[in-house]
A and B are shown apart, each in its own frame.
Chain A
Amino acid sequence: MHHSRLVFIFFSFFAGAVSAEEVQVAVAANFAAPMQAIATAFEKDTGHKARLAFGSSGKFYAQIKNGAPFQVLLSADAETPARLEQEGMTVAGTRFTYAIGALVLWSASEDMVDGRGDVLRKGGYAHLAIANPKLAPYGAAAVEVLKQLGLLDAVRPKLVQGENIAQTWQFAASGNAELGFVARSQVTRGGKLSHGSAWIVPANLHPPIRQDAVVLANGRGNAAAGALMAYLKSEQAKAVIRAYGYGI
């Protein structure tokens, strides 16, 4: 290899990091799949680059408070962005609801869940996976649904908790939990149920899962951050978001 070519490669490593408009995005675990699709389209359409990190809102909150380099937060809830805003950690006036989450009762086996969720009452399962209700809005919503159905005490011994909705899905997808309350987005591909069987929980059984986005203080003046927020509001992005089973 030529000497000059090595030098070129060496410098392009650094050039790449500096010259391209780039935004670091903290993304709620439940929104991972749609956001990857949106980020790809965003990069193609605008030339900006979105670097995605997936995790729980609680962890992101702690990291952001302690200087994490995120510029945009796509939270799984409305509280975390609001709280960061109150604490002066965001760019004022940028907070908005990018998606409204839907909860499904899901099983990896085809004939487990009926269209009305009666399986919850009937039994025939050893474990019901939910996200930790203290940490994850989908977990809190699942507990609310069980309360509304008057089943919470009956199923409590069967509950297993994932630390976030991604792990909850993993418990159910591996079959270790026969049933799980997961995000509709996790089991939806191209507007349809990807596999297994599911009951889409009626929205009136739990408070709406409003998922808010906000530009963080770190993202002030970052063109890519502003462009991404605008892109999330575009019809194009909304179509993707809806195709994954969210309301918006």
Chain B
Amino acid sequence: MNPKEDNAVSTATPQAMIKKKGSLQRRNTLIAYSFLAPNFLGFLIFTMLPVLFSIVLSFLNWNGGTIDRISWAGLDNFKLIFKDFNFTRSDMGITLKNTVLFTLATVPLTIACSLGLAMILNKAVKGAKFFRTAFFFPYVASVVAICVCWNFLLMKFGPVNQALSYFGINISKSWTQSRDHAMLAIIIVSVWRHAGYYMVMYLAGLQGVPGELYEAATVDGANAWQKFWRITFPLLSSTTFFVSIMLTISCFKIYDVVAIMTEGGPGRTTKMLVSYIYDLSFQQIKYGVASAVAMVLFVIVLLITVVQFRAEKKWVNY
């Protein structure tokens, strides 16, 4: 060791040591911040500020134009959207009902499909890798292409209706143009599109289930059904928890599939909250009212997530 350096260390007072340690920490923090900055700046400018602005906007009147055209509205925007609120007539009621129905159907169905696919493909099936890729494909394919294809499949004389007619189910209309089937069409496409993605998460979860448990269960004479409910499902509960939160949020945000397949129609049968927000802000240029609806959507998603986190303690085992 260099004697000079040795000397320097030995003469340093404890206070200086602390100071030095402090400056090192500060330096490390600064380096960390400088690495975070590029991403965080983008987040701040393009996500954080608009979100904050939207919260403020929901209490303002702003029909576009320069900033001086903004005026205070208080709760007027909220009063307006909840005026004559009911689930069959008012825009807010109908779009809220549609979004909730869509979510209630899509979340469990997607979980069931992705878990089922993962269980099957987790076994040493011949060509498992191929099928995993195949089921993941809808998620990476362009939404527009997928929706246009499904539109054709679900047309009046399309393959789906023809196949159904063999089973005695006669549907005499394009699914997307009928009040009875439009929502179902949106749900099917959404489930089909997301199942492969969440399947991958379940596959990862299944890797963490120890094989000895199944061996022990087999020795005890448990059947496949019991093994699933007593071993697989409980051990996957943390994955299911994560998947259900992600799915719920993405379901409440649904816009693209609806915009391409039905444009919210026929009438308002498949008009969702986000379509309503788009309508208010970009067709009618009522930014304040649109932000109020967005706030309602935000609060709903927040509440659901909080409830899910509370419930997590009851049913999620690690």
| Physical interaction between A and B | no
List B residues at the A interface (Cβ < 8 Å). none
List A residues at the B interface (Cβ < 8 Å). none
